[in-house]
Structure 1
Amino acid sequence: MGESLLQGWQHWPLGLTEPPKILRELSGGLTNRSILFEACGQRFVLRRNAPNAEALGIDRWREQKILSVVSEAGIAPTVHYCAPDEGVLITAFIDGEHWPAASVKEAGKREQLLDLVAQVHALNIDLPTRNYRDYIETYWRQIEAAALVVPAELRETRALLLARLDGLQGNFEPVLCHHDLVPANVVAGTDGLALLDWEYAAVGWKAFDEAVLVAEWGISEDMLSSDGELAVELYGYICALWRLLQGGESE
C-alpha cells in the first residue's frame, strides 16, 4: 500500500531511527497522493506532489514560503520537511474532525471558522499579488494545449469575465488568501481549528475566500463585500476550469 511513497526516508530530517510504517492512504485530496505514517511513536502526513501541479496553477516554492508562516502562526500543521524539488511535503498529523458544511449553522462553529479565516487574512507575507485574469488564462492555455472539449458556457463567459477582472486588479487590498476553504481542508483538533492544503494559497483578494465560504459552506451572502457577486462567479469559473484540466476529454 504505497510503500514506494516512503522511498528516501533515511534522509528526511525527522530524526527517525526506524523505518516508517504506513498506517493508511489518506482520502480527500484530488491533486496529490498522501499517506499517514508512523515512526518512533509519532504520526506524520506525507504528500507526494502531483506531476501536473504547474498546469493547475500551483507554485510549490510559494507554497513552501506560505507554509512556514502559517505553521508558525499555529493555523496549519507543523511542517517537518518541505522539498519542492523532490516533490515531498511532510507535516504533523492533526487527529481531529472535519466539520460538515452544515455544521456552521451553529453560531459557535460559524464564528470559529470566520475567525480562522480572519487570522489568515491578517498575516503578513512578502509575495506578489495574484492576478486572477492571468490565473484563468494560464488554465486556458493548458486546456487548449491539451485540445480538451470545452463546454460552450465556459467559452461564452470567458471574455466577459476577463473584462470584469481587468477592472478588479489593483483595486483591492491584497491579503494572504487560502483560496480553497472547502470543508475537507478545515480540521478541528485539540488545539482548535487548522487549515490544510495550502497549495493554492497566495496573496490575493479577500472576497475570493469569502465566496468559497458562501459556495462551499452555505454561509450567508450578507458577509460578501460589494464585489461579492464577481467573487462567487470567479470561484465557480476557476473550479470549472480546474475540473476540466483534471478529467476533461480531448477533442
Structure 2
Amino acid sequence: MAYRLGDAALDALLDALPLLSGRPRRVEDLPGGLTNRNVKITTADGVYVARCSGPSSDLLGIDRDAEFHNSVAAHRAGVGAPVWDYRPDLGVLLIGYLEGDALRDTDFARPGLVAKVAQSCRKLHAGPRFCNDFDMFALQTGYLKVVTDNGFRIPADYLDHAGRFDDIRRALRAADTATVPCNNDLLAANFVQGPEQIWIIDYEYSGNNDPCFELGNIWRECRLSLDQLEELVTAYYGRSLRHKLARARLQGTVSQYGWTLWGCIQNGSSELEFDFWEWAMQRYEAAVAEFTGPDFSQLLDDVAAAD
C-alpha cells in the first residue's frame, strides 16, 4: 500500500466522517497510488473511496486543498467522481466510487478507445477553472532544488539536457499560452471505463495547464505509439493540426524530463517497497530519446506552424 496507515487507525479515521460514523461497512484496499492509501468503502446506502494521504509532502509539491477544490470542479464538469467530504486535518478525501474498470496501457489498442479518452479530456478541459495553475517547467525547477538540497541521486547526465528543455520552453511560450483545467497525471489507471463514458480520477497534480501537456503526458504515460498520439490529438481538436501534434509531442517530453525528478525524490525519500529508480529511468530515457532524436529541431519549428 502507498500510505502506511494501520487498519485500526483507518477505522478510527472513517468513524470521524459523519457519512460513515458508526455504520456497518466493508473496507477493501484499492490497487495503485504511490502517495495515498486508497480504500473502497461499501455501506447499505452507498459506495465510497477514501483517499488517505496523511501529512502532505512538501517534497513532491502536492497541494491537498487544490486536489479537493479541483475534484469538485471535475465532478461539476461531468467527468469526475462526486466529492462527499474533505478533512485536511485527518488527511482524507471522501469521494464516490465509480463503477467501471481502470484502463491498462494495452486497452488503448481497442478500436475507438483513443477517441473516447479525447472526449473525456475535452469534457474536463471545458469545465470550471481549477483553483491553481500547473507548469511542469516551474515544477521541474522546484524538484531539481529538492534533489540538490537533499543529495538525492539523479541520472549522471541529467543536466546535460537542460538546454534542450529550455528550447522547448521558449518554443511553447512563443506560440500559445492558453490554459484549461487539466489532470496532468493521466496514466492509464486514472481513466475508469464506465458503461456510458470514461471517467477521470486522481487530481493530486491537477491545475490549469496547456491542453497539449495533457495529451502529450497521456502519450508517454500510457505508452502510446506516435500514430496513436496523432489519433489522440486529431480526435481532441477535431482535425489534423501539425502544430498541435508537435506541441503535444514536445509537452510529452517535458513531462518525462520533469517526472524523472519525481521518481528521484521518491527513490531517495520513500519507504515503500517500489523501484522508483527504474520508474524514473523509464521516463528519463524516453525524454532523452526525444531530445537527441533526428526530428527535435523540426518539432520546435512546427509548433509555430500555421497549418
TM-score, with normalisation over the residues of structure 1? 0.88
Structure-1 separation of matches of 2:188 and 2:67: 20
Match in the other structure for 1:3: 8
Unaligned runs of 5+ in 1: none
CA contact (8 A) 1:176 1:204 kept: yes
CA contact (8 A) 2:130 2:207 kept: no
1:74-113 aligned within 5 A: 74-113=78-117
Structure-2 separation of matches of 1:49 and 1:95: 23
**Percent of counterpart pairs with the same letter?**
22
Return the match for 1:33 from 37, 40, 59.
37
Q: Structure 1 51/160 Cα, relative in aligned 2: closer, same or farther at 3 Å?
A: farther
Q: Structure 1 63/169 Cα, relative in aligned 2: closer, same or farther at 3 Å?
A: farther
SS at match of 2:66: helix
Structure-2 separation of matches of 1:196 and 1:2: 24
CA deviation string 1:83-110 (max 9, x = no partner)? 2343111111123112222222233222
Structure-2 separation of matches of 1:19 and 1:11: 14
Match in the other structure for 1:247: 267
Q: Give the root-mean-square deviation of aligned CA atoms.
A: 2.3
1:48-197 aligned within 5 A: 48-51=52-55, 53-125=57-129, 127-162=131-166, 164-166=168-170, 168-169=172-173, 171-197=176-202
Return the match for 2:224 from 218, 221, 232.
218
TM-score, with normalisation over the residues of structure 2? 0.73
CA deviation string 1:32-52 (max 9, x = no partner)? 111112233422111111535
Is residue 252 of structure 2 the alignment partner of residue 232 of structure 1?
yes
Structure 1 residue 180, shift from structure 2 partner: 1.0
CA contact (8 A) 2:103 2:193 kept: yes
Structure-1 separation of matches of 2:223 and 2:153: 30
CA deviation string 1:70-125 (max 9, x = no partner)? 11233111111122343111111123112222222233222211100111111231
State how many pairs are aligned. 248
Structure 1 residue 16, shift from structure 2 partner: 4.5
Structure-1 separation of matches of 2:113 and 2:59: 35
SS at match of 2:264: helix
Match in the other structure for 1:208: 213
Q: Structure 1 8/102 Cα, relative in aligned 2: closer, same or farther at 3 Å?
A: closer
CA deviation string 1:18-73 (max 9, x = no partner)? 25432x21111111111112233422111111535332121111111111111123
CA contact (8 A) 1:101 1:217 kept: yes
CA contact (8 A) 1:179 1:208 kept: yes
SS at match of 2:128: coil
Return the match for 1:199 from 204, 207, 221.
204
SS at match of 2:51: strand
Q: Which has the higher strand share?
A: 1
Q: What amino acid is the match of 1:132?
A: M
Structure 1 residue 148, shift from structure 2 partner: 0.7
Structure-1 separation of matches of 2:125 and 2:168: 24
